[in-house]
Every structure is written in structure tokens, then in C-alpha cells.
Structure 1
Amino acid sequence: MAFAHKTLKTPHCTFLCFILFLISSSQMTYSVSDGDALIKFKNSLANSNALSNWDPNTMPCQARWNGIVCFDGIVTGIHLKSMGLSGNVDVGVLTSLPGLRTITLEDNKFTGTIPEFNRLGALKAIYLTNNEFSGQIAPDYFSKMGSLKKLWLSNNKFSGAIPPSLVHLRYLIELHLDNNQFSGLIPELKRPPLISLDLSNNQLTGEIPLSLSSFEASSFAGNPNLCGQIVGKNCDQITTTNKGQDSGSNDSNNEEPKKKGKSKGLSTGVIVAVVILLVVIILVVCVAKKRKDQEKDIPTAYTKTVKAPENAKLASKANKISDGVVEVVEVAPNLSRKGSSQSSKRSNSSRRGSTKGAGVGDLTIVNEDRGMFGLIDLMKASAEVLGNGGMGSAYKAVMANGLSVVVKRMRELNKMETDAFDEEMRKLASLRHKNILPPLAYHYRKEEKLVVYEHVAKGSLHFLLHGERGAAHAELNWPTRLKIIKGTVEGLSYLHAQLAPCDLPHGNLKSSNILINLQYEPVLSDYGFNTMTNPSVVSTALFAYKSPEFTEAQTVSPKSDIYCLGVVILEILTCKFPSQYLNTTKGGTDVVQWVASAIAEGRESELLDSEIVSKSTSCKDNMVELLHVGAACTVPKPENRSSLKEVMERVNKVYAKDVGVQDERTIQVMPSLRDGVL
């Protein structure tokens, strides 16, 4: 974990250091203490069969323990959804996980009062939906959880007042307390970041605070004693008894707690003022150092500054671990004249595309659609770590001209020498289709490669389906999902036509490699790496090697891509996380077998995503039709699978029936990624 610790502790670490580290560092080390803590945590749970690969003789991040999210060897998330777990959650052992930021225990069988997650003050998100937690939550429960952004307690049996300490969570953006037994008044949640709220189906009383007037009435439905303009009920008609009781319960009819609260608030204000003063002093020192270096005409004199969050006046840290993902923000100032000249020479050298004798400073442009840039442009950009995948790590960089790119650190593309690798990359970069994302540039080293892509606005389909339940997830309605399926099939068909000689034209098609742009068009990425990937790891790095033909006969073919396509279609229709994506047999849902069994028993409609069907039952027949398409793509024997032509015909038939010819024409002329929309 050398990288994260250096980034957090080195006051003048530049983005140049950041890039050099990406290129030259070796495999990260892993923390044994994290594994010890997780094993103790597992032992506190009952029915933990789903955690069978939590082996104390292995390391959680290296062995990819079920439900564990990591960044460079640090455990950042515990996501144990739908695993049938119960027992007492031992929060105490989790205090030794300094990087832990998210906890998900949704859809399990936990009972009792809310666990002591307030002991983990750095948590960003807590998801406890669909359990049987009960009892009251202490009024000050959240007072030491200032980093909390997302709280989901839906569908439990919590009672009593909504904890007033929620009012002080300045970064809270999602609060879902629906379908519980909360009573009393709604606290005055004044913080502007709150964007998602659901307090429906409780026993809340009194007037809805004016600060929540931007939310719809559905956020408060099922609380008959609530009043206010939002729910269309005059508060004069509601008895004030509950209001008095709630006020009494919160304040205990005692002025002393108020005084303590004011005193505490005053102390906090003093502390914040001192911190702000220290940060200002540091910034002044940094600016002075920068000017001094520039006067000496040192071209490499970079100074780190801090990019403040939109909803905060001052960022006390430049590095944040948010929702299981580390974000690293660094900005380099303009170079001096001499430095600019040298930078221009280095950039021009990299732009010529030569890979002969490539060194640390070389970046080979293979696609000029988004303009010319060099490694120095990346050095001067702000950087954000997106996460890890089967092929390596991904980093987002926003350059001075506004272009956002993703730099992928590929550790396993070691099969080819320099010239052969350059030829393959240029072939992939030459492809043009609205549903294909070609690479822009690369950096070659024997040990690993950097591959640069254009950043796609809404992120991966995987994240939209299974990640945050924000506005982006809500927009995944049936027309949008159908559009994504259609675009994915079209993109894969194009790849199979252009890369016909390849055994695996794509090779790694899965929801995390399907990116979604502003128009909700899917864009396929990470294709064509089969011929470049180290043979010793290709079977674990590329998803096509999870197909039945490789498991049984150690062979792959273009039909393996069709198997991957089928898994994606089933994932979109059911919104279930496919167990096929995991390296073990534990966790997720075997969507292939699940759907095949349902079709055989004639109960396909039971598998469809309830969020979609509940909003529009008219789409059910078309969803069932596409469920059959996905099943036809995932039959065990590749020779019995549908061809891409057959899949395209069936999808287009559903699309024309569901959307209509006029809508289809409209979509066809919508600007694509290559038109410069992003």
C-alpha cells in the first residue's frame, strides 16, 4: 500500500510522481491485519457459508474474498448483499480497517438494534435495507459520523424518533428510512447536498420541514399524521400532541442539554476555525515555494494544491476514500517559460508516434480524434483513481483543455514485443462505431502498459445497475435498458465483422466494460486484448474464458463472446449480479442456470427486475422475449448458441415493437461519442 500512504503523507508529491509511480512500481503489498479482522468479523456471523473463500491463509484483496472491495490492497468496502447472513455484527473488529468506507448488509436476516457503526467515523455509506433490525436509534448516534453520505435503513423495524444528529451530517446526499416504524417530527434537515429522500410508510407526525419542500409527496407517503403543502394537508387539522411529545423526547424538557449542545457547537466552531487557519498557512507556504522555484527557472517545480468539493468551502484533505473508491486530486501549476519549452519538446516527441526506445516520458498517440496530447499534459491534469479490474487499475485525468481521459494501467499485456504491440493498438484504435470506444494513446514498457481512453460520462453499466441508487440508476427504465441491449449487440456485431480473424474479437465483454454516455448509448471498451495478454493469466483476466467450452475443453471462439453477451442481457433484465463474474462459485446469482430453469418451468416473468415491471407492466412480454434471447446465447454447447445475426434480428424486432419506428429514427441520428458530445 505504498502508493496510498505516499499520496496521503507527502505534501509536495506531484502528478509527475503519480505517473512515474504508475509506470515503475511493482505489485502492491497486502495487509495481513485486514484479513485477521475480517476473519473475526466472519466468526461473529451465522449462516456464513457464502463467505467460504475467506481463508485465513490468504489475503482478502489478493484472493478476492467474496464481498470485499479493495483498492491497492486496502479493504475499502464490505458488501455482503443477499447472502442469508444473521448473527451479531461485531463492529469492534472492523475498527482496525482504516480504509473501510462502505458497509452493505442488505437482504439478509439480521435482527436486534442497529450495530455500532458509529464507531467507524470515516464511513461514507451504510446499506441495511431488507433486514429485521429493530428498536430506537440513539439521538446522538450519528454525531461522530461527519463523513457519512448515504444511509439506507429501508424495510426494517426501527422505531422511535428519527435521530436529530442526522441534521449535522453536512455531506449526507441519500437518506432512506422508509417502511419502518419511526415516529415523531421530521428533523430540520437543512443541508443542501441531500438529493435522495424516502421517509414513506412510517408513523411520523407534524409539519414537513420547509427545507424538504423540493421532494415529492411520495417521499412522505404512508404517514397519515404528516401535514404541509407537499402532502396537501392543512396542519391546523393535525393535533399538536405528537409535536409536544416529540419535542419533549428530544429535549427532555430540560434547558441543560441545550446549553451543552451550544457549548459543543461553539467548541466545534473553534476547532474548525483553527483547522482552516492552518490550511490557509500551508497554502500560502506552497504558493511562496512555487514562486521561488519559478524564479529559479526550475521546469519540474510542481506544487500541489487542493481541489475543493462543490458543496464544501474548504477541503481539508486532497485525498478521499469515497464509497469504496479512493479519489486522488492533484493539480500542477503552469510551468515557467523554460519549463514550457521543454514540455513542448517532450510532447511533440511523444506525438510523433515512435515507439523505438520508448522511455518513461513517451506517450504514443494512435487516435487523433480527440486532439494531440503528451505525457506532460497528463502530468498537469487532476487525477482520480477509479478502481481495479481484472486487467489492472484505472485512473481518470482531466487535462487543461477540458478533455477527460481514463488511463488504464495494464499489467498483463506482456505477450507482444514493441512493434507487434504497436500494430495491434493501432488496429484497435482505427475502429469507428458509435457503440465502440477506441484507445487514444499508449505507453509501452515490458512489465506493464498504460492505455489511454476517452472518459465516458455516466460510467459503467455495472455501476449503474448495482452501485448507487441515485438519479442515474432511476433513469435505467425499460426503454433505456432496451436501448442499451440494442447498442451492445450492434457494437459487438461490428467488432466481430472488423476483427473476424480473431478467436475472441472482444474477449472481455461484461457490464463493467460497457460504458454509458450522456445519451445512454452503450460504448464497448477493453476489446481485442486476447492476443496481447500474457497466456499464464489470460484465463482469469478475460471474461470470455468463463464460457462453458473453456471450462470443459479449454477452447474459446467467437461464440464465447456471444455467451458473454447473453450474461449481460440476463443481467440487464433481472438486475442480478452474475456469479459468472466472480472467480469463485460463491456469491452473486448464477443467472444462466436460474433463467434456464425458469424457462423450463414457464415462470420467466418472476425473474424480471421488479423495479421495471412495477412501473410498466406493458413491457413484460418484451422483457420475457429478450430473456429467451439471453438464454439462447448462454446454452452450454457453443454450436447451439444463437448467432449474432439471429440475436440482432430478435432484438430489433422487440425494439421496433416497443419503441416504434419514429423513435428509432430519432435515436439513430443522436450525436455519438465520436461527435464530440462528451
Structure 2
Amino acid sequence: MAISRRKPPKETTPLLVASKTTTFLPIIVFSLFTLLHRVTSDLTQQTQALQTFISKLPHDSRYSWNPSEFICDWRGVTCDATNSSVIRLRLPAARLVGKIPPNTIGTLSHLRTLSLRSNALTGGIPSDFSNLLSLRNLYLQNNVFSGEFPFAEFTGLERLDISGNRFSGEIPLSVNNLQNLTNLLLHNNEFSGPLPSLHVDSLVDFNVSSNKLDGSIPTSFSKFPVSAFSGNINLCGNPLPSCNNTSPPPINRRDSKSESNKLPTGAIAGIAVGSALILALLLLILLLCLRRKKTTQQSKQPPKPLATAAGGSNAGGNSSSKDEFSGGATEGDKNKLVFFEGGIYGFDLEDLLRASAEVLGKGSIGTAYKAVLEEGTTVVVKRLKDVAATKKEFESQMEVLGKMENENVVPLRAYYYSKDEKLIVLDYMPAASLSALLHGSRGSGRTPLDWDRRIGIALSAARGVAYLHVVGRVVHGNIKSSNILLRQDAHRDASVSDFGLHTLFSGLSSPNNRVTGYRAPEVLEPRKATFKSDVYSFGVLLLELLTGKAPNQASLGEEGIDLPRWVQSVVREEWTAEVFDVELVRYQNIEEEMVQLLQIAMACVSTVPDQRPAMQEVVRMMEDMNRAETDDGLRQSSDDPSKGSDGHTPPTETRNSPITVTP
């Protein structure tokens, strides 16, 4: 019998795979297109919503958003990492007036932080706010909002501050739904009725003072101080005085006439007890008066000086105490934080006092703190030491410095002056300073500072100093690597900080170590710095970038020698290659550029001030170095830093040709 054999199946696997791939490819492309369209559509909708919001309310000109600009670049608007949704909207003290239009803010479904505090917003909270399910921080204090408590549905809230408004009605028991709350501030409103018992374990800051609440305070609030409940006349119970709900017994009017003329034994005992209680009460009042007098005397004493963050010199310490920045400020000095016109911040001194603080460093002019405000804004506060200027001189100099606006200059945002404390507020720049990056640990895990980054930092810093000299007519006076702050923006490598403050210190209170290693030889007092001495200090900074050595004797290993003289001594022996930082040796084809920058640096550190080039000339020489233009915009010859914001060219100074390295 013949056995039938099955033919082996054809090898169709590759074709099958290709077929499946062909089938799924359109689905993948369609899904990606749909997702991209949805993200674009969402962002377009959010843009239109915020444009409608700002167009329908009077507002500060700082927040006149330009529709031609990307929404994520608008002032007060922060998007997520993918720039697909608005997650933070901060408009504090933006002079907003009127009711929040519907279908505006309520459409920002991914919003996590909303700050509209210190405006003149009125009416109730729009019903479409119920869409803000991602909201974590809500700051509406100091407006004219009214209506009943509308926030019980915001179950993700962590911080809620609606103080200083006209909210009314009872505080609902449904507040217990907000189980993530850490801050609930309802004071200075018109809430009435009993205070509901809340069982929110995470609550650490609570205040319902100055409302119209009544009844007994639930035991769940016993951990909060008296100040959290004061100003509610009919509220009682711990920590306020206890509630007295007992009433005197009714009088028995059936007593006979003879009995009315006779005091029973119980009445006599009652009188005795009452007299004793009255005497005890008088003694208590006397003790309270004495204690109050003592407290008043203590309050008249000068406040303690500004405390170091975390009570010590530990740079990583934190402090949430109001004493952190109050220092010698008295009550009469409060709320005198002076902001400059066109600034981006809207907080006041009280907000600053509540900020947590971290010591960033102690420099020659004072201590710098990183201050994080309640709503997440981060600034740098510098507490100046040894200021000898009068209040008028201080304020006059601050007004000059507050007008400096350039991408390579760290702007001064605000200042505070009292008899014992002088503070300045600046933008916080999370990247390190040039000093930290250049002289940090040089161990095996270090990432070297490459040549492109060094020349970019040098050029950015030169443009910043040139702007101060030519447009601002301001002498920096304290140029050093720790005052060159690095930016995360690749097109703006660095900005100069701490400029123009040297004039606030007297010669006696300005020791030479304020600018150790950078000080020009003709400057005997730092406050006598000039444009030419700034050029010298910048030249030392260039040498620091080229050599990798800090400009002090210890780093040079030779007593009594500074960095310029050390470089000259090495070059004199024809060991020029030994000058440059060993971390630059690995890079190819940069020798010519390094020598050119060394020539510029040596021109700047000439011992004769008149032989030093002006800063705008230094910028031009650096831009004209024989360097191929890179894609990152390192060379921008058309961007003349000596031009002001109005584009005019200031009067030119004497131009010096670069000199050779040979001394």
C-alpha cells in the first residue's frame, strides 16, 4: 500500500512577519499622530483660556502675555517637562480686579499650583474649578472672594490659604475629605456656625481666627495655639477658655417673709467660698499684670541678630523660623521690602520671614541664603555685613543697581534696610558658580570643564561686565570666580553677580581679603575700585580659567607671588605649555586659541592702568579670536555688549592693541 507523504509547508514566516509589521505600522503611526494632535489641541485650548482670562481682567502690564509667544514662556506660567500642559500658574500681586471669568483657569486640568493672592478678585469661585483635580497648592489669600466654602471636592489639596477674604457660611464637615492637607488657613473671613471636628492627621498649620464661629472647639484641634482661634467671640473650649453652659437655679418665690429676713447656713457658706474665690481672682489678675509688664519690657529690647541657618555654619541646614531674616527688624520696619519696577515677584517681607532657608555660602560681603517661599518660589537673600552707608546712600545705590537689565547680569530684585539688617534679594540660579565648577574635587569622578565651556563662560562674563561699564556706568568692584554664576541655558553660559556693592562698605570695614588675588595693585581700598581695576580683576579671572589655579598664594605653591606674576615667571622661562590647566591637554587643536586668550588676559593685568584695554575692547578681542563658529552660538560677533537696550552705541574709549605674552 502506497503511503502518501505530506508536502512540507512552505517557509512563509518572513512574509508573515512582514505582513504583521505592515498591518501594525499604520496603527502605530495613527496612534502617535492622535496623541500629538491631542497634546497640541490641549495646549492650544489652555493658551486660549489664559488669553481670555487676562484680557477680561485689569492687570499689571508685566502679565500682558503676548499670544505670539509660547505659553510656557509667559511670566507666571510653568509647564511640565514635555511642555504639553500648564502645571503652575502664579499671579501674586498682579493687580487683577474683578470676577474670574468662567471657562478660563478651570480648563487647566493638569494644574498643580495656583496662586492668585494679593489681588482684588471678587465674587465666588467658578464652578468649573471642580475640573482642577490635580491641584495640590491653592493660594487665594488677600482678595475679596465671597460665598460658601467650595473646596471640599479638591481631595488632592495639600496647602489651602483663603485667608483675608469674605467667605461665609459654615465650614463643612466634608473638609475631612481633604486627607492630604498640611496647611488650612481660613482666618479673616466671615465663616459662622460651629467648628466641625476634623480628623486630618497631616494638618500642621491651621487658622480660623477672626471669623464668626461659635460653640465648643472639637478636641481634635487641641494641638493648635490660641492664636489659631482668637477673634471668634462665641467660640470656647481648649485652648480658649472653657465653655460654661450651666445656668443659675430658679429662684423659689414661695419663701415666707420671715425666711427672707434670715440667712440660712448654706448661704453663709456660699458667701465665704465666694469671697475666697474673689480674693484668688484678684491675686491671679495681679500676677497676670506683672507678667504682662515683664513681657512688654522684654519686647522693647533689640531683637536678636540674624541666626545662621539651622543654628550653625552647616551649609545644608534648614530653618523655618521667622528670625531667619528678621534680624534687627522691628515692628515699625516690617513690610518695607522694596521691589524694583518690572520685577517678577509679588511676595512681601512677611512671606520672606516664613520662608525656609538654606545657607549657600559666606562670602566677602555677607551670607547668602536660598529661601523657598510657601508657594514654591525660590530666591537668594543676601544678608550684608559691615555696611557703612547711610540709609539714603544705601537706597540711592540700590536704585542704580536695580536698573541693570542684561542677560549676563544677575538682576537685583528687591532690598530691605533697617538699622541692624540690610538684605538684598536676587534670582536663584541652581547651577554652580565658576569657582565650584573649576576648583571642585578633581578626583576620578570629576567631569572636566572643557575648553568650549570655559571660553563661553569667559565671553558671557566679559559681556556682563562690559554692560555694567558702558550702559550702567557701574563699577563691579568684586570680580571673582565665585561671583560668576553659571546658567543652564546653553546660549547664556554665565552671569555676573554682586556688582556695585563695594561702595556700601567703608575702607576700614572692607578688608583686602574681600578680593584676595583679584585686586589691582593700585587699589588700596576695595571701595576705590575703578573701571580699569575691574579689567585687571577680569584678567586674573581669565588666567584662572586658563591655568585651573585659584589666584592665591597657596594654590601657586610660592609665598608672596600672585597669579599674574606666576604666569609671567613661567612664560619667561619659555615653559608656556606649563601654564595651562592639565585638564585642557586632552583637547586637540586649541593651542592657538589658548595662547590668544592668554595674550588678552596678560593685557588686562598690566600693572599700568592706562595700558589695560576697556572691557568692550576685551569683548571684541575675544570675539575676534581665530575660532570657527560653532552651532551652539558661542561666537556672536553681532551681539555687541557695549550697546544698551535701546541699541545705541556709547562713547568709545581708547583702544589698545593686544600685547604679546613675553614680559
TM-score, normalised via structure 1 length? 0.45
Query: Greater helix percent: which structure?
Result: 1
Q: Bigger radius of gyration, 1 or 2?
A: 2
Higher RCO (Cα < 8 Å, 6 or more apart):
1
